[in-house]
Structure 1
């Protein structure tokens, strides 16, 4: 006869006798024993019971999955961590639906920069962070360490944007000094200095094959460069104001740009043809007081950041109008507008699962959103002033932010 997993086994312990109060005289065996211990009012005992649940097959797995809905944050965290060790489809499905961002906290604060951090990028391996700063330097860090691996010197003004190639060997930076620099990551050597823009280089991006750089500038243009030679391949014109952000589709054929002219444009990288223009960000903000505080030079509808989902079908944009918009790249339809930040939204990133948006804002917070529903799944506070840039690791388990307080913060679960 098959063994019943809910019944005590021969080697299970029994708690009872005169040494314990009669109310605790229960059999600590089988899944029923696990459930009795889980009913304890002591959180540590409940977590220990969860650890034992996996000894009882699929029923035990189901029990741990149910614990994801527990009222105790500690129990939910323990259940989540335990399920990460399992390979069953049921466990994977439960984790996929679960909001693990509720457990995120600041794991470390990196303080080597002496001025604001304008841009952060995470290598595809998820192990290396690159940061650009108003102190005119680029720094390279390990995600899991508190110290800087190396500092790259060479720009003569603020570094505005950084990117790293898919093979993690090369860093690209843009600067207010009108140049783009190409660096060897390991040695820190500057391989090329690219000149051609007549204004600040506000954004840089690298194609998925690692062979091409795309840059956007305050001269209102987009340029395409050969990363190995530094040769300028093409210039795209069409925006009527500075191009502050760029993203490249996973197929490497499409560029998306965001501009202070309040539009997002989609381009064919080979022909330079403008395929579509999306409009929707505006000068309207929910708070009149905030609007009155801002200078006349500030264009409230400016698009500050754009990102493309891994499937290449969805664009996300962030604006000075305090909102994030989600767009269908084929139709140009605005699928939803995400509201929750109380000030400028300066940067957006999309998690590799294509389901999660991370945003940073002048309201000093980082927010995590469900891209399909627009639900805010978490808000992180810790920077003392504006959060300028944000990025997320490929596994979605770590977020990195750069602030106007000269610090970079790493967020995740302990």
Structure 2
């Protein structure tokens, strides 16, 4: 009975420090809470909603290694972008690559793929910032879109005005070139299984291509729905409602059902979606603001301010711990926790 009363007294002390203590006292109290079993763990989970963001961040990191289901649920419902800070800027990778035309991040490997305006494709190890491999397509026109298949074996290169090429990243050999020419290749993406890719023709009709046979196997018409297709990754599609309301619908890739609707301000916002499909990030081409949205509810969660006045590309690392902000010139900002 005496032990229980002691524990209860210590838990009450932790509660008081978390509510009224200074930052250092609050973080020390979170560490102490680990000693008090389930009740202490509850206090750490509750600290994810403390009035001080720094205390929330301390609780977030303390819970990272815990495997209990209720902890995982608490972390899944939390927004880590609250803690994202500017880390550094990559001015350029080599003297030859003065401008980065495309940025994408592989889903499992910490690699960055870039394409300069000479059409030289380079795959970089993000830890060492060294080139893993380099290859150059035969195309004479510049590629301005890159996508990596979920299995990390296939690379897609799309020329915005003409055609697409699909390459094997391991062998550096071309798998095929789309035989159908388009007036405008819009946003493109691989399917969740990596066996096909989606292309929006003129922003209205989505073509689904089979990679193995190099043929179109089905179509999705956005025109009939009054929407223009503007973004996709291997999980979701994003379409813009025709008109002046700037409403965007998020679609599930496989079910083709609308998940939520967002109202995004600014001209043609740059969009990316986290790997776990929980967050949509929209970057402004006008003022460098990055907004974070809950993809299930459509609510704005927080915003980040880039050093760039115009954002032209966003990419998220596979573990969700890094955000890459491309300003359209030779610089890529790196954000993270």
Q: TM-score, normalised by structure 1?
A: 0.67
Q: 1:160 aligns with which of 101, 105, 110?
A: 101
Distance 2:170 2:47 in 1: 52
**Per-residue Cα deviation, 1:30-85 (whole angstroms, up to 9, x for no partner):** 22232344443534333332321221111111122222233333333333232224
Residue 266 of structure 1: aligned partner:
208
Moved more, 363-372 or 30-39: 30-39
**Per-residue Cα deviation, 1:292-331 (whole angstroms, up to 9, x for no partner):** xxxxxxxxx673x42122xxxx324579985543123345
Q: CA deviation at 1:356?
A: 1.9
Is contact 2:147-2:156 (8 Å) kept?
yes
Q: CA deviation at 1:243?
A: 1.8
Residue 276 of structure 1: aligned partner:
219
Residue 109 of structure 1: aligned partner:
88
1:188-207 equivalence runs, <5 A: 188=131, 191-195=134-138, 197=139, 199-207=141-149
The alpha-carbon distance between structure 1 residues 226 and 340, as it changes in their structure 2 partners (threshold 3 A), is closer
Give the secondary structure class of the aligned counterpart of 1:90: helix
Moved more, 46-55 or 385-394: 46-55
The alpha-carbon distance between structure 1 residues 264 and 46, as it changes in their structure 2 partners (threshold 3 A), is same
Residue 285 of structure 2: aligned partner:
362
Q: CA deviation at 1:184?
A: 7.8
Give the secondary structure class of the aligned counterpart of 2:101: strand
Is contact 1:161-1:173 (8 Å) kept?
yes
Task: State yes or no: 1:391 paired with 2:334.
Answer: no
Residue 315 of structure 1: aligned partner:
237
Residue 99 of structure 1: aligned partner:
79
1:64-83 equivalence runs, <5 A: 64-83=44-63
Is contact 2:146-2:158 (8 Å) kept?
yes
Residue 133 of structure 1: aligned partner:
none
Q: CA deviation at 1:381?
A: 0.9
1:186-335 equivalence runs, <5 A: 188=131, 191-195=134-138, 197=139, 199-227=141-169, 230-237=172-179, 240-258=182-200, 260-271=202-213, 272-279=215-222, 303=230, 305-309=231-235, 314-316=236-238, 324-330=248-254, 332-335=256-259
The alpha-carbon distance between structure 1 residues 275 and 46, as it changes in their structure 2 partners (threshold 3 A), is same
Give the secondary structure class of the aligned counterpart of 1:8: helix
Distance 2:70 2:107 in 1: 32
Give the secondary structure class of the aligned counterpart of 1:81: helix
The alpha-carbon distance between structure 1 residues 191 and 406, as it changes in their structure 2 partners (threshold 3 A), is closer
Give the secondary structure class of the aligned counterpart of 2:71: helix
Residue 145 of structure 1: aligned partner:
none
Tell me, which stretches of 5 or more residues in structure 2 are unaligned? Answer: none
Aligned residues: 330
Is contact 1:263-1:281 (8 Å) kept?
no
Which has the larger share of helix?
2
Is contact 2:88-2:335 (8 Å) kept?
no
The alpha-carbon distance between structure 1 residues 265 and 345, as it changes in their structure 2 partners (threshold 3 A), is farther
The structure having more radius of gyration, on CA atoms, is 1
Distance 2:134 2:330 in 1: 27
Q: 1:57 aligns with which of 22, 32, 37?
A: 37
Distance 2:298 2:33 in 1: 35
Distance 1:308 1:159 in 2: 23
The alpha-carbon distance between structure 1 residues 276 and 46, as it changes in their structure 2 partners (threshold 3 A), is same
TM-align CA RMSD: 3.7
